Amino acid sequence: MRFAPDGNTYLSAGSDQKLYVYSSDKGEIIKEIEHKDGHKGAIYSFAWSPDSKRIVTVSADKTAKIWDVDSGAVTKTFTFPASGGPSHDDMLAGCLWHTGPSGTYCVVLANSGALYYLDTEAGTIKQTLHGHRDNIMDISLDRKNSRAFACDLIGKVGVWDLKSLSCQWLGGKGHEKTVVGCAINADGSILATVGLDDKLRLNKVKEAKDYQFSTDAIGLGGKPSAVACGNKSPGLVAVVLAQKKIVIVRDGRIASSTDTSFEPTSVAISPDDSELAVAGKGGKIVFYALAGDTPKEKSSPEGAALNLNSVRYSADGKLVVVTDSDRRISIFDSSKKNVIPTNWRYHGANVPDGAFSPSGALMVTCSMDESLIVWGDLKGFDPLVRKRADMVHAQGVMRCAFTDDKTVITMGFDRCIKIWEIKA
């Protein structure tokens, strides 16, 4: 129930699919609006036009309608979804009518969380905005094509355009459970996703028309913890499992499954695809040679006492950063020696992730203390050469990466993705 902007009348809408107009001074029903082209489901919400002559209504029948209040006629109908198959997510829950510098338009909200901007005169959808409505689990960058891929708790994978900041979802059935990790391959054509269905999917994402989950899935034989793609070979994928295994996939087929002595939590492949770094619980960090399809252990330097969260290579492969639950940031050089023997502990809580800039001059780390630190000295490793941002994401920052040498992207428990500029 809402008053018209001119204050002369108010209107009510309900699950009986009817609209009633009342006089504001006496509260009496002026008219009942019920039309043959009206809604076929409950009307969840409506909004008045600024001139008090029209309303927009949204309904469980997955349509939005523009009405002329005086005549009671439906002048425009918008049917959702604009593309793809219908689902419960397409029911429309809210709406508003806005006049601003760019003109007059309506915005309607779907159960999926999508916001649709409607051109009320042309009867077209001007713009669609998507976002994650559940916790984001992982993010992977395709710098060459200015894209970020993000997977979430309910199994959705979003393809984010880093220029327009718009998102498209991967369509199709997918994992239908939490997608715990994602990684883009070397040429940007395939996005590897692993989910709690214990499967790996290799999804074509070269062009927007390809944004669909693969109908083929590779059974992993256990619960995946993380996934990484090769940096030279487009067909190389490494997955680590909670069942203490490393699975290597080559060109869509499992090439090897190797046991580990610890439970892995993160995996990274070196820039030349010759080495695999695996970090896990109990402070274990192990480097493997990857000359063939079976990883062969090279070294296991001493790590932290507690669980390791992430492992990442620098662009030239000369440095590796490892973060852990005890606030520590460790950096190993090419000889696998920890170049910061005392580690850096400048965050106030668990450090889930760290990453190097494309040039290798900077490093970024994020923390559950809601902070972000950019480290500026990766030669002398002076911890005082750093920049810090606080209150980056409410409840903590889960992932961070450089989109270029001056820009950082983050994701957090607030279900948001943010982009940060590093100022001199």
**Residue 243: what pLDDT?**
97
| Cα separation, 59 vs 276, whole angstroms | 52
| Cα separation, 387 vs 288, whole angstroms | 33
Say whether pLDDT at 103 is over 80: no
Token look-up 């006492």 returns 305
> Domains of the chain, with CATH numbers?
2-129 (2.130.10.10), 136-348 (2.130.10.10)
Interval 229-244 mean pLDDT: 97
pLDDT in tens, 370-418: 999 999 999 999 999 999 999 999 999 999 999 999 999 999 999 999 9
3-state secondary structure (DSSP) of residue 89: helix
- The distance of Cα 37 from the centroid of its chain, to the nearest Å, equals 38
User: Is the CA virtual torsion 326, 329, 333, 339 positive or negative?
Assistant: negative
Structure tokens at 69: 């209040």
Instruction: Report which DSSP code applies to 412.
Output: E
**Residue 82: what pLDDT?**
54
pLDDT in tens, 9-22: 999 999 999 999 99
Nearest in space to 303 (alpha carbons), one of 273, 325, 270: 325
| Cα separation, 54 vs 59, whole angstroms | 17
**Residue 303: what pLDDT?**
66
- Look at 73-77, 119-123, 181-185, 303-307 and tell me which has the smallest mean pLDDT: 303-307
Mean pLDDT of the chain: 94
**Residue 84: what pLDDT?**
52
| CA diameter of the chain | 85
Interval 91-118 mean pLDDT: 88
pLDDT in tens, 178-204: 999 999 999 999 999 999 999 999 999
Say whether pLDDT at 133 is over 90: no
